Structure 1
Amino acid sequence: MFKYFRGSLLFTALCLVLGAILGWTITHDVAGTLGILWIVLVLGVLEVSLSFDNAVVNATVLRDMDPVWRRRFLSWGIIIAVFGMRILFPLVIVAIAAQVGPIEALKLAATDPVTYERIITGAHVGISGFGGAFLAMVGLTFFLDEEKDLHWIGVIERPFSSLSRISGLAIGIVLLALYGISRMIAPEEAMTFITAGIFGLVAYIAVQAIGALLEQGEGDEDAGHAGGQAVAVAAAKSGLAAFLYLEVLDASFSFDGVIGAFALSNNLFIIALGLGIGAMFVRSMTVMLVDRGTLSEYRFLEHGAFYAIIALATIMLLSVRFEIPETVTGLIGAGLIGLAFVASLRSKGDDDDDAVAPTGERLNIS
């Protein structure tokens, strides 16, 4: 276990040292420095709790991914996740919203964190629309799959599986959700929300299209794969599309965490340290899940992750109208995955019982 998390623990130690230096620079006080270190740790734990389902979904793609592109995602991807989404992305939002250059946005983050926070949180409607729509498509595509024969909650999943024959149903559901929620908010925000949501849909379709184009020359060797995860399978086989799919997916998961982090601190660098720790642990969990074949061993873990994605997408979309604490979001995701894990353990126990003959001798089921 330690070998998977060694790098994350070392990175955490580095971030805590940097946090201590930053805290002393800001407060010149031991108590203030310890307070900042506590915020860094809390942000790291919060990011892990919000993104565990991200690790599971990443693992579903990485297990079929070309080894070269898998290494690239686990190296380049984590750099993009830590520095791109946790530092550059907020700066880009501030630069666009305040109509200033990136250097001015960085200066604003360093010298006027209150204004910086106001600009970032002001972009919450658009961010929630984009991220919520993209994640909703990811979750719905998993369940709207007529070839999906393994169900965790059959009373829900079987009807959805049969509805997969209706072309464009997932897009229709997301568009109706965007329209319905837009009616709950001010007209000037509604247009931003719907526009961002449409771009989230387009981003999902674009990644799927890239995967399909790159797969076009590879024949029909993957025809037997589940249709509902066609984008994930196509991306996993094409390498580049897999990388793009996982990066957009990680970005969508990160939106909520980046915005929610301002509830604890309005300092860009403190937030980056805390969320960076979380991102590293998510990477370590992803590697462990792939190496150990955990998803195959615990058959319903993947289902729990996609239920958590649907829940997160719903919360992101509704957050433009209702204030939902980050802890609630994290607990819902962790709870769903925990229940799926328990169900997987019970299923394994049933399989083991079935493999034993009435006399007590184990049957040969190879």
Structure 2
Amino acid sequence: MSPIAESDNKTVYLDYAAATPVDPEVLEAMRPYWSGRYSNASSMHESGRRAKAAIDGARAAVAEVLGCEPREVIFTGSGTESDNTALLGVARANRTHGTHVIISAVEHKAVLESAQQLKNEGFEVSIAPVDAYGTVNVEEILQLVTDKTTLVSVMYANNEIGTVEPVQKLSAALRARRGAKPYPLLHTDACQAAGFLPLNVVELGVDLMTLNGSKIYGPRGTGLLYKKNGVAMHPLIVGGEQEQHLRAGTESVPLIVGFAAALQKAERLRAAESARLTALRDYFTRELLKKIPRAVLNGHSTNRLPNNVHVSMPYVEGEAMLLILDRHSVEASTGSACSAYDLQPSHVLLAIGQTPELAHGSIRFSLGRHTTKEELDYVLSVFPGVVERLTQLSSLTATV
């Protein structure tokens, strides 16, 4: 039995894929800009120029991590906004060159619903299927490309099941397909990849990339869109000249500074933290499947994020597992936090071939910087009993 006891009032937090705590170093970097250095970065006076210099410094720091030019970095208010801007802004701006967009079947809803909006506006949208691990097939995507395709969007790593997509291979294939033409462009949602996978946009070969501050121990309400020089894009928010006329509104200097500090630290810790979490992930997965043999591991067993363990339990409701685990001071999720109150089965799990019944019994444990083996041992001591109890209740209900 783990030494962690419920009487200790200690919460075992395993929902880092939904949100991370702000790192103390990040908080300290942001602190001066909440009160002492509060000026509008668009003002021409000295304090306004200092605020602009802080944003410029943050932009340069981010560009260094991404391997791009500072002017290719656009700060936004969230990963969702960045995804929306990439799909809607780019598709609309390039409409005269084509009205066809391709996305994968396992994208975040920020991409799925943006694609649906484009469909409502008369665009054609193709959905690329995935295999049983949630991986896209590059050749199948190429078969969907037409002379009217202007944009392809495939996420870097899945937010629910953790599978890492072959973005680099896809970008190389698309470049070969388009030859001297500029289309189709490639966008990737890398919100879950930051801190775990390389983010150099030149090596990845992407034209657009989305990041999110709340997944990298940075402040909420921050996001980023990398846009390669020369890519035409219409803004979603108008009424100002900020962010090169692509995202109007007074910039939040502390949030932008915090985002940059968080990304720099995430990149600095990437190799060591990925190795540590991979070892914990594999230990937890192995012991969980040993204790609950009927559990189904979702996503690829090795080609997945270091911090992701996503399983489905036959005959058990995911929400019921979460509620009972919560009483044991264990916090996890059934999938994307953005869909936490959606009672429909996960579109990601349906895309990999699961039945709606099995998909309803899914749970995601996502590890982070503060996760310890001791915490995982505690979860392993209580979770099998939770599943067994709910399975028995399910069997009793079925016989009534």
The TM-score normalised by the length of structure 1 is 0.31
TM-score calculated relative to the size of structure 2: 0.29
Bigger relative CO (Cα 8 Å, ≥ 6 apart): 1
- In proportion to residue count, which structure has more helix? 1
